[in-house]
Structures are given as C-alpha cells and as structure tokens.
C-alpha cells in the first residue's frame, strides 16, 4: 500500500512518510508510533528515551568539525487528526492511511492524510539517519497528543533538553517562517438532560446538515466555511417555534480543533405540521446553499422519516439548549491590528453530544491577545449559564510572542535567500504550536516553525504539495549547516 510514494523526491523523506501512513496514530493512541520511533532510534545506535509523559527524545552527536555549534532541537508531534468522510469505512486505531499521488499533491482516500505532522517527523528521521549531512548536536523531540491537548509539550520539564535553538517542523506554508502563534482555551458546557415522553400523533425525522468542507479551526477559520452545528441549529430554532418541533438528540462535530462538517438531530413534529415542516426545510436548504455557494458547494440539509425515539429532551431544556447554541459565537471575532491578514481572536463551536443524562457542548477559543480570549470566554459563559448549563474552561495553552529580532530568524532568512533567490516571509499563526508551551519552560530558546505546504489539515481534503517537500528538505539541511557556534 502507498508504494507509489517511494518514487517521489526526496526519497528518504517519502520513505519514512510512507511508513508513518501504515501506523495508526490518532491523538491519545500513539502507542504504536511511539514504539516505532523508539526502535528507530535504538537501531541507529543513538541515545533514545521516553519521558514520563510519553514523549520520545533521540540524541545525535555533532558531525566531525561541528561540535562547537549550538545544540538544535528538531521537534514534531507523533499524533494526527482522525477525520473521514461519512461514506468511508476506516478505523483510525487499526487501519493504515490510504495515501496516493494526485497530480502535484499527495492526499488520502476519504480520510485525513497525516502530513500534519508526518512531514516534520519524516524530515527529523531523515536527519537522524543521515551520514553525510553536516550538523551540530541534535536532539529530536517527538511529542504526543498535540492535536487534542498538547499533553506532550506540557509534560516537557526544564532541564530535560540541552539545546538552545528549537526548529519546530509543524507549519504549513513553504517559504514562510513562523515566529509567533495564538494561545487557546477549551470552553465546556454541560446541560443536565431530563426526559419526557413522545406525544401521540407525532412523526419522527432525522435532520442532517452535511457535505461541508470542514478544516482546521485556526488556519481555516477565516475562509468563511459553514459550521454544520450552526446550520442545523438555525433550522431547529425556526422549526421549534413555527412547527412545534421537539428534539430527542442532537449530535455534531468530533474534535475541538476541526470545523464540524456534519451534524444531525433526531426530532419529532406534530403530524398535522409535517407538510409545512418539510417544505420549509427545502426552502431553508436553498437559502443556506445560496449564502455559502462559493465556500460550500456540496452543502446539504435533509430530513428523512425515522423511527420514533424512546424519549424526548424536556421541553424547557430543549428551548434553552437550542437558544444557547444559536446564540453561541462562532468564527472570526477580530482581525489583528498588528499583523495584516492575521486573525486575532476566533472561536469554533466544535462538538455537541447528547447522552441520556447529559448534553455536552465544546468550543475551542483562540487568540493572540489573552484578554480578548478571556472576554470571549465570558461571552460564551454569559449565554450558557443563564440557560442552565454548567460552564468550565480547561486546556489553556499560551501563545508564542513574536520576536522579529530572533538570531535564528535572521540566519534562516539569509539561508533561504541564498538558496532560493528570494527572501522568505515571517509571520505569526492563528493556531496553536507547541512552541508557546515549550518556550515557557525554556525561555532562553530561539525558535522558528516552518514546513512544506499543506492544505486543508484536519479534514479529509488534507494534502501536501510534493514540490515543496523537496524545498523544505533542502532548506532544513542548509539551515543545519549554518547554525552558529556556541558563545
């Protein structure tokens, strides 16, 4: 499987990337890939260890003549986002990724590809394996659970690593160097779910909003893509008031850091209102498809007759839930005044799940301004608490403050110009990078994030630009040759 990748250049990168596609590695299920990486390091005869959190560290001594260079930490994360199309059968804990070449890109058949962060991992492994690439002392840091909690980065302790320069290989635009990122916080809302009987003479339906493109809730949040939960709730709110709709369950989204692509609700409607209900839904679909015609050409909002549910959500709770979801902020809240084109603050209404006793709602808030993120959390709390939900915040991770005077930035800009004939851009990123967390434990580190061009990470449309992988590799190799000497 995926053998055609072995014909791509640079062969060493694609060899390891192919191997990674064969190893299931969703977040919090990195056991197989951790074992793979530990075996890899030990087979090379390098110092290889796993810390208490589950991160893997591999140390490679400097090549002859480079012993006096500053130590470099090459860093990437082992996990990947597990997302698939509804018509694809795939178990992310057991099945390999079915990657293939599609013109100038490598992508996967109906699932996320894992180029985030498989490309970075493959490059690090290639450096560790190399025998002819000059470099100073190298520490490879492979962290766990970056995508759902940055658990690995939080687990790195001061003094655990010896290097002075961190090269994070986890950004997604070749020719751009990232020197800052947004911080994030999870917002959690929970309703106690009381039940009521299904009234007689009601007809049951399954409502769905789907066919959406989804994407990364930070990098893609400014693209105007639809949020399946918000679209579905918009109609539920209308039908609750006009058609007497009652809800048994509502479910949408699966990951905090992915824009939800599909959402559904099990509902009932009085038998006398079904005709108007179905017509209004068809009209609503036309409206929403018109509003999102450029960004979501495959959007569908449908209803199908279904078996009657065993129970319904209590009417008062339903009213409060639907109103809170409808009013919940979602998308870009403010663009940056400091960096042109950068989103400053955003939030993603990511997950709604109904159980028999609890209904949970999850959002991921991001901002490069801590007070703005705090204000956004207060805004969400002010909506859900009066609706009767318990609200709490967790998973907070710091942003990474840009340093335009970074010494490694100046070196890498010069290296890029000499190698490729143009000056790279340096930017901040509206997404979470482990640099912010790691930098809090190692404030002396000089840090840069870079990588090949990857599009639509965190969605089944994820793909990596083949030609940029070659440039990324050449750039990394050349950068390691120019790491400054120790002071």
Identify the CATH number of the domain in which residue 122 sits: 3.40.630.10
Q: For the whole model, what pTM was predicted? A: 0.80
In which region does residue 453 sit, left (phi positive, over 0), alpha (psi from -120 to 50) or beta (all else)? Answer: beta
203 with 156, same domain?
no
In a domain, 444, yes or no: yes
144 and 131 in a common domain? yes
* Domain co-membership, 119 together with 54: yes
Does any domain span residue 486? no
Distance CA 222, CA 231 (A): 17
79 domain residue, yes or no:
yes
Establish whether the linkage from the previous residue to 15 is cis, with ω within 30° of 0. no
Provide the domain count of the chain: 2
Buried-state track 376-397, b at ≥16 Cβ within 10 A, e below 16: bbebbbebbeebebebebebeb
* Cα separations in angstroms, 448 against 166, 178, 236, 426: 7, 6, 46, 10
* pLDDT band, very low/low/confident/very high, at 442 (cuts 50, 70, 90): very high
Active-site residue flag, 146:
yes
356 lies in the same domain as 410: no
Are residues 94 and 208 both part of a single domain?
no
Confidence class for position 334, pLDDT limits 50, 70, 90: very high
* In-domain check, residue 64: yes
User: How far apart (Å, rounded) are the C-alpha atoms in residues 378 and 363?
Assistant: 13
Of 354, 378, 397, which residue constitutes the final position of a domain?
397
Catalytic residue among 19, 30, 139, 146: 146
In angstroms, the Cα distances linking 180 to 76, 140, 176, 274, 447 are 16, 21, 12, 53, 9
Structural domain including 89 reads: 3-181+399-481
Phi, psi at residue 144, to the nearest 5°?
A: -105, 160
Residue after which a domain boundary falls, among 354, 371, 397: 397
Total residues belonging to the chain: 487
Average pLDDT on 342-365 reads 96
State the pLDDT confidence band at 317, using cuts at 50, 70 and 90: very high
Q: Would 242 be classed as within a structural domain?
A: yes
Which of 397, 416, 448 is a domain's end point?
397
Q: Kind and range of the H or E element at 239?
A: helix 228-242
User: pLDDT band at 356, cuts 50/70/90?
Assistant: confident
DSSP output for 63-104: PTT-TTBPPEEEEEES-B---B-TT----TTTPPP-EEEETT
- Each residue of 74-113: pLDDT tens digit? 999 999 999 999 899 999 999 999 999 999 999 999 999 9
What is the pLDDT confidence band of residue 256, given thresholds at 50, 70 and 90?
very high
44 inside domain: yes
Let me know: does 74 contact 125? Beta carbons within 8 Å. no
Q: Please state, in angstroms and rounded to a whole number, the distance separating the CA atoms of residues 487 and 480.
A: 17
Residues 393 and 413 in one domain: no
Can you give the pLDDT at residue 30?
97
Q: Say whether both 149 and 189 belong to one domain.
A: no
347 and 476 together in one domain = no
pLDDT at 295 over 80: yes
- Between CA 402 and CA 89 the distance in angstroms is 42
In this structure, what DSSP letter does residue 184 have?
Answer: E
- Identify whether 52 is a catalytic site residue: no
Note whether 78 and 31 are within 8 A (CB).
no
For the chain, the C-alpha Rg in angstroms (whole number) is: 24
Same domain, 161 and 219: no
Residues 91 and 138 in one domain: yes
Residue 309 pairs in a beta bridge with none
> Based on the domain organization, do 50 and 158 belong to the same domain?
yes
Give yes or no for residue 1 having a pLDDT over 80: no
pLDDT more than 70, % of the chain: 100
- Residues 202-237: tens digit of each pLDDT: 999 999 999 999 999 999 999 999 999 999 999 999
- 388 and 431 belong to one structural domain: no
pLDDT score recorded for residue 361: 98
> What residues pair up with 176 in beta bridges, in sequence order?
425
* pLDDT tops 80 at residue 338: no
Longest alpha-carbon distance in the chain:
85
- The SS3 call for residue 176 is strand
Task: Report if residue 487 sits inside a domain.
Answer: no
Tokens of 55: 């991160």
Beta bridge partners of 140: 58, 74
In this prediction, residue 162 has a pLDDT band, given cuts at 50, 70 and 90, of very high
pLDDT of 337 above 90: no
CA–CA separation, 44 and 41 (whole Å): 5
Of 147, 156, 74, the closest CA to residue 431 belongs to 147
Phi and psi dihedrals of 41, rounded to 5? -65, -45
Whether the predicted pLDDT of 392 surpasses 80: yes
The set of long-range contacts for 379-383, using a CB threshold of 8 Å and a minimum separation of 24, is: 379/329, 380/187, 380/189, 380/328, 380/329, 380/347, 381/187, 383/324, 383/327, 383/328
Q: What pLDDT, on a 0 to 100 scale, did the predictor assign at position 402?
A: 87
To which H or E segment does residue 6 belong? none
Tokens 């209590």 correspond to what residue? 314
Least Cα distance to 240 among 282, 213, 200, 280 occurs for 280
pLDDT exceeds 90 at position 340 = no
Residues 177 and 425: beta-carbon distance below 8 Å: yes
* CATH code, 337: 3.30.70.360
Residue 59 lies in a domain: yes
- Please pick, among 79, 174, 296, 434, the residue that the annotation labels catalytic: 79
């Amino acid at each position: 499987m995926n053998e055609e990748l072995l014909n791509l250049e640079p062969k060493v990168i694609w060899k390891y990337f192919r191997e990674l596609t064969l190893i299931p590695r969703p977040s919090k299920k990195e056991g197989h890939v951790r074992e793979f990486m530990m075996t890899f390091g030990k087979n090379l005869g390098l110092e290889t260890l796993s810390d208490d959190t589950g991160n893997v560290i591999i140390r490679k001594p400097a090549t002859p003549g480079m012993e006096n260079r500053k130590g470099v930490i090459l860093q990437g994360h082992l996990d990947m986002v597990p997302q698939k199309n509804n018509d694809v059968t795939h178990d992310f804990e057991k099945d390999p990724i079915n990657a293939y070449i599609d013109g100038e890109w490598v992508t996967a058949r109906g699932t996320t590809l894992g180029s985030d962060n498989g490309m970075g991992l493959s490059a690090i492994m290639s450096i560790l394996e190399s025998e002819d690439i000059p470099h100073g002392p190298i520490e490879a840091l492979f962290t766990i659970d970056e995508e759902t909690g940055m658990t690995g980065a939080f687990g790195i302790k001061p003094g655990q690593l010896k290097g002075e320069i961190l090269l994070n290989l986890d950004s997604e635009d070749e020719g751009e160097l990232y020197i800052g990122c947004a911080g994030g916080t999870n917002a959690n809302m929970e309703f106690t779910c009381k039940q009521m009987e299904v009234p007689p003479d009601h007809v049951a339906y399954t409502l769905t909003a789907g066919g959406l493109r989804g994407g990364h809730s930070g990098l893609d949040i400014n693209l105007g893509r639809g949020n399946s939960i918000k679209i579905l709730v918009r109609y539920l709110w209308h039908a609750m008031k006009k058609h007497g709709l009652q809800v048994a369950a509502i479910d949408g989204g699966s990951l905090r850091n992915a824009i939800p692509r599909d959402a559904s609700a099990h509902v009932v409607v009085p038998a006398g209102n079904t005709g108007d209900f179905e017509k209004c839904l068809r009209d609503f679909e036309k409206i929403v498809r018109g509003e999102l015609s450029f960004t979501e050409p495959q959007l569908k909002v449908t209803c199908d007759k279904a078996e009657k549910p065993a129970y319904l959500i209590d009417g008062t709770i339903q009213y409060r839930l639907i109103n809170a979801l409808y009013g919940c902020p979602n998308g870009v809240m403010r663009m940056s005044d400091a960096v042109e084109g950068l989103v400053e603050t955003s939030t993603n209404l990511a997950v709604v799940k109904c159980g028999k006793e609890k209904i949970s709602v999850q959002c991921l808030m991001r901002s490069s301004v801590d007070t703005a993120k705090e204000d956004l959390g207060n805004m969400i709390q002010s909506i859900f608490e009066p609706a009767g939900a318990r609200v709490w915040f967790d998973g907070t991770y710091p942003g990474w403050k840009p340093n335009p005077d970074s010494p490694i930035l100046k070196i890498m800009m010069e290296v890029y110009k000499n190698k490729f004939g143009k000056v790279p851009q340096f930017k901040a990123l509206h997404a979470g990078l482990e640099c912010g967390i790691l930098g809090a434990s190692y404030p002396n580190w000089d840090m840069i994030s870079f990588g090949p061009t990857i599009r639509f990470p965190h969605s089944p449309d994820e793909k990596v630009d083949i030609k940029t992988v070659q440039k990324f590799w050449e750039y990394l190799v050349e950068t390691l040759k120019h790491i400054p000497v120790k002071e």
